[in-house]
Amino acid sequence: MSQSGRRPSQDVDYSPWKAGAELSSGQRAAQEEHLRLLEETGARFGDSCFVSEMACVDVDSLDMGDHSYIAAGAYVTGDVTFGRHCSVNVYTVVRGDVRAGDGVRIGAHTSILGFNHSMSDPDIEIFRQPLTSQGITIGDDVWIGSNAVLLDGITVGSKSVIGAGSVVTKDVPSGAVVGGNPARVIRYRTRPGPLAHGTSLASRLERFADDARRSARPLLESHWSPELGLFTSHPSGAPTTRAQGDAIEIADLLLGDSPPQLPREELVEQLRSLQDSSTGMICALSADGAPVAPPHEDADAQTAYHVLSTGYALDLLGSAFAHPITMVSRQGPADVVNSLERLPWTSEVWGAGDRTDILATAIHWNSARSPHTSEGQIETVIGWLMRHVDPVTGMWGSPRAGDGLLQIVNGYYRTTRGTFAQFGVPVPHPERVIDTVLRHAEDPRWFRPDRRTACNVLDVAHPLWLASQYTGHRESDITELAQAWLPDTLGQWIEGDGSSQASGASGFSFRAPHPRTVGTQDTSVSLQGTEMWLAIVWFLADLAGVSASLDYRPRGVHRPEPASQPQPSQQVG
């Protein structure tokens, strides 16, 4: 007897990794007979496998590779495959259609459930309704912590880690460390990449798009204030002008319609009422939903952005501004040049790009109302930009010592979004643009998992997409980056409980959720974060060649087509 009072074989039952060294000849013979009997029920075993006689193995099929084991108290049923060096530790449940690769280590008391109950008919008791099974696929070199729960239909990528107590309801990217309920990406062991074992990026995108569509209505409802009749920036926040535009873009993208909270005509009237008739600028909203005093031409960046967000929201609703934007309509070519030359191109390129975007978008809206009022203006803007572009970087301005290439790349996105992209003009030096953006994308100060924001990632994805329309330069590098970033981005989706309550809606936060930033407002689900990351997913997917799997395409501020081209109809599955 051992000091614990158990037979030596019982020690191995609970610690089966000891089987190779501690089994006596008699115990080894008993184990071989036990495996032989299991083989008669449809099991197959590689060399040096161990299955405790204290485990319940009642399978349709079981295939275990060399040096794999099942410990005491485990419950294994269904069609199960394990590769080499896999462990099913004590009191673990593995049921249904489960396929695991090599080196998969499963902690005690874990449940891996490759089947589910259907419950479509409320008049029939659930236990009488048929079972369904999509199966669970687990890659190589995966560690699943104790008390984790893995639900049917997921794929766990190779080299990933599932934290103890996690509830995994969605695919886990290769190399990801996930945790929580529901499990979310915390960080990466390895560079993110496509999922293992045959699960394509395309199929994951299809599933993501379906989930996003199902979540759209609760998301909009959670950000709607019925008392004010307005959308709020966050579920517990105040209404903002941008939130109205973000809600309309999300509804158009995922529902193929306007938000259900108000009739389309009322939404149009609400947005048009925010434009000041004398300046044409768009008002902000106070905490009680009242328009703030009309902004002037030099409004701050947040207020000036309303020219984009409100203008494109009206466009999606089939309407337009009621008044011209006079800061533009009264300018001749010389005034446009003076406006551009006053911008801080050498010290704050993002700010200069922001103002250029606002200027060019105002020209676009005015031209749509009355073409002759904007004659020659956009040609002047693009001509000035062509003369001042840096042929070495393909961008404007110079890098700053404190933030590397951040300013010039982010400034490039805003500058080109409103000009070259919006008006369908080829960008200058696209090869140099790609070189600069790819170099910037390697900077961990901005693209570490705990530092990724929608702005910084969009300002990489869109310039790469735009420049690649005019050159095949470094195509494989761009595709590799897109394929690496996509699983990470999809892993940032925050899964709520499906309700329309503040904490229940699913969506994206502006900043990627991470343990170091948990609890901050910019890591909670928001309309702005969801609208921006949905566009990012599309651009990355298109760079990776799989955007058709999303079955949606941005049609507002982040639309890929020039604004002069007809918008493609939105297909909603």
Which pLDDT band, with edges at 50, 70 and 90, does 365 fall under?
very high
Q: What is the pLDDT of residues 213-260, one digit of tens each?
A: 999 999 999 999 999 999 998 888 899 999 999 999 999 999 999 999
Q: Rounded distance, CA 126 to CA 316, Å? A: 44
Residues 186 and 214 placed together within one structural domain of the fold? no
Residues 281 and 367 placed together within one structural domain of the fold? yes
Residues 172 and 235 placed together within one structural domain of the fold? no
Which pLDDT band, with edges at 50, 70 and 90, does 301 fall under?
low
Residues 230 and 119 placed together within one structural domain of the fold? no
Q: Among the three residues 165, 199, 233, which one is the final residue of a domain in this structure?
A: 199
φ/ψ of residue 94, rounded to 5? -130, 115
* Exposed / middle / buried, residue 487 (Cβ in 10 Å: 0-12, 13-18, 19+): buried
| In the predicted structure, residue 500 carries a pLDDT above the cut 60 | no
Cβ proximity of 377 and 361 under 8 Å = no
We report the CATH number of the domain holding residue 311 as 1.50.10.10
Q: What is the pLDDT of residues 270-293, one digit of tens each?
A: 999 999 998 899 999 999 999 987
Q: Does a structural domain hold residue 155? A: yes
Torsion-angle region of 48 (φ positive above 0: left; ψ -120 to 50: alpha; else: beta):
left
* Exposed / middle / buried, residue 184 (Cβ in 10 Å: 0-12, 13-18, 19+): buried
Q: What is the pLDDT of residues 193-203, one digit of tens each?
A: 444 434 578 88
Give the pairing type, strands 111-114 and 131-132: unpaired
Pick the catalytic residue from 34, 67, 109, 117.
117
Residues 6+ apart with CB under 8 A from 328: 359, 362, 363, 366, 374, 377
- The pTM score is 0.67
Q: Which residue in this structure is represented by tokens 């995922």? A: 254
HSE-CB of 279 using CA atoms within 13 angstroms: 15
Average pLDDT (316-327) is 94
Residues 191 and 211 placed together within one structural domain of the fold? no
Q: Among the three residues 199, 229, 250, which one is the final residue of a domain in this structure?
A: 199
Residues 39 and 121 placed together within one structural domain of the fold? yes
Residues 527 and 378 placed together within one structural domain of the fold? yes
Q: Does a structural domain hold residue 291? A: yes
Which pLDDT band, with edges at 50, 70 and 90, does 568 fall under?
low
Please report the pLDDT score of residue 303 as a whole number: 81
Q: Does a structural domain hold residue 505? A: yes
We report the CATH number of the domain holding residue 115 as 2.160.10.10
Neighbour tally for 415: CB within 10 Å: 31
Q: Rounded distance, CA 466 to CA 418, Å? A: 12
Residues 396 and 338 placed together within one structural domain of the fold? yes
Please report the pLDDT score of residue 371 as a whole number: 67
| In the predicted structure, residue 530 carries a pLDDT above the cut 60 | yes
Please report the pLDDT score of residue 197 as a whole number: 39
Please report the pLDDT score of residue 5 as a whole number: 44
Q: Does a structural domain hold residue 83? A: yes
Residues 304 and 349 placed together within one structural domain of the fold? yes
Q: How far from chain centre, in Å, is Cα 289?
A: 31
HSE-CB of 171 using CA atoms within 13 angstroms: 31
Q: Among the three residues 183, 199, 215, which one is the final residue of a domain in this structure?
A: 199
Number of domains, the chain: 2
Q: Does a structural domain hold residue 39? A: yes
Q: Does a structural domain hold residue 19? A: no
Active site residue 117: yes
Residues 6+ apart with CB under 8 A from 287: 238, 239
Mean of the per-residue pLDDT values of the chain: 88
Max Cα separation, the chain? 99
Neighbour tally for 287: CB within 10 Å: 10
Q: Which amino acid is at 467?
A: A
Residues 237 and 319 placed together within one structural domain of the fold? yes
Which pLDDT band, with edges at 50, 70 and 90, does 182 fall under?
confident
Q: Does a structural domain hold residue 563? A: no
Which pLDDT band, with edges at 50, 70 and 90, does 533 fall under?
very high
Please report the pLDDT score of residue 127 as a whole number: 83
Residues 133 and 85 placed together within one structural domain of the fold? yes
Q: Does a structural domain hold residue 344? A: yes
Two tokens, residue 330: 């009264």
In the chain, the percentage of residues whose pLDDT exceeds 70 is: 91
Look up the domain containing 108 and give its range. Answer: 34-199
The total number of residues shown for the chain amounts to 573
Q: What is the pLDDT of residues 1-52, one digit of tens each?
A: 333 444 445 678 888 877 766 677 778 888 889 999 999 888 999 988 999 9
Q: What is the pLDDT of residues 341-358, one digit of tens each?
A: 999 999 999 999 999 999
Residues 268 and 308 placed together within one structural domain of the fold? yes
Which pLDDT band, with edges at 50, 70 and 90, does 567 fall under?
low
